[in-house]
Amino acid sequence: MIRPFEKINGFDREIWQEELEDFVPKRIFDVHTHLWDDRFAPPEGTTTPQVHWRDLDSWSREVFPGRDIGFLLLGMPVSGMKLDGFHAFMAGEIARSEHRLGSTIVTPAIPAHELEELIEKYHFRGLKPYRFFAPDPADCRITDYFPEELIEVADGHGMFVTLHLAKFDGVADPENLADLVRLTRRYPRVRWILAHCARAFNPYTLEKTVFALRDLPNIWYDLSAVCDARSHYLLMKHEDISRLMFGTDNICAGGVRGNYITWGRGWKFFPGAEVSHCRGDATLVCYEQLRAMKRASDMAGLTSDDVEAVFYGNARAFFGF
């Protein structure tokens, strides 16, 4: 079980002071965070930590000391979760936050007319579909977990959608890429935020597709939880910098100690290990992500203005706060 709400220790502070303090701008906006309440857990329970906006805010200010930080608040997708009452919970938490920006969970079981009613009632601006709600969560197409009748509703309201792609090859899968080409053109008022560098935890998925993605309209990326510097580099080098936005996947994924490692065409969370030949301490995933971003920005030749745009300015332009 991954432990939630890690407390910042001396090694974390060492990493921050020596490697990140001079890289992370004074203003940041995190476009990938999750809220959860145990009232909506399935009967068998969940290991997902309970996180309300105030928990996220106070924890983030400790992790990013001295930073002015805002958030896009996403509902937490949990397999088998109870949706009754969840939308009201999300609306209440969004209203408490400074920027009042958030996305509720949407599943294929929600009829289009019901989604219309939820948007009208709670004034949601964004949606969070997820592969867990598809019949085959590992090998599903986008419309298996976000049906077109719901995309049509999102298009009618000009909503943004944070999308975590499925399939073994992620965005490099021909069906995923074909779907993105078709959906971005058919529904021009939907703004797609491709989570986790278009789910490029392993950079091979972006090495060819980045050149196709950059020609698509209404595509943005959040950089959350990706710890491989090459994935960030590919976007920073070949994409429009204005389409890249900082995110962490905090607290549940970005807030644990370890790293998302890659090998071959695989990737997996690795918690670290005791070793005899070097220092084996692990730091937070969101710090490992920042280290990767720093290395990539140096390799890609980003300016300080570019870095500030990725951390704050692009989100401000996207959300209009």
Separation between Cα atoms, residue 70 and residue 42, nearest integer Å: 30
What range defines the domain where residue 215 resides? Answer: 10-319
Task: Write phi, then psi, for 96 (nearest 5 degrees).
Answer: -80, -20
Which residues face 55 on adjacent strands? Answer: none
- Domains identified in the chain, total number: 1
Would you say residue 24 lies in a domain? Answer: yes
Q: Can you give the pLDDT at residue 4?
A: 55
pLDDT at 1: 35
Other C-beta atoms within 10 Å of 255: how many? 24
**3-class SS at 209?**
coil
| 78 vs 45: CA distance, rounded Å | 10
pTM for the model stands at: 0.96
Q: What is the pLDDT of residue 2?
A: 38
**What is the token pair recorded at 119?**
């948007």
Q: Is residue 1 part of a domain?
A: no
pLDDT along the chain (321 residues), means of 10: 71 98 98 97 92 96 98 97 96 97 98 98 97 97 98 98 98 98 98 98 97 97 98 98 98 96 97 91 97 98 98 98 90
Residue appearing with tokens 């959350």: 224
Tokens of 317: 């332009």
Return the structure tokens found at 40. Answer: 């909506």
Nearest to 132 by CA among 169, 87, 180, 80: 80
Residue 2 domain flag = no
Residue 4 lies in a domain: no
pLDDT over 70 percentage in the chain: 99
Here the tokens at position 244 are: 């890249």
The residue with tokens 């389409």 is 243
Is 5 inside any structural domain?
A: no
Sheet holding 244-245, edge to edge: 27-35, 68-75, 102-105, 126-128, 160-163, 191-194, 219-222, 244-245
Q: Is 51 helix (H, G, I), strand (E, B) or coil?
A: strand
CATH of the domain at 276: 3.20.20.140
Whether residue 97 is contained in a domain is answered as yes
Whether 14 maps to a domain, the answer reads yes
The CB density around residue 84, as the number of other CB atoms within 10 Å, is 9
* Residue 122 domain-assigned (yes or no): yes
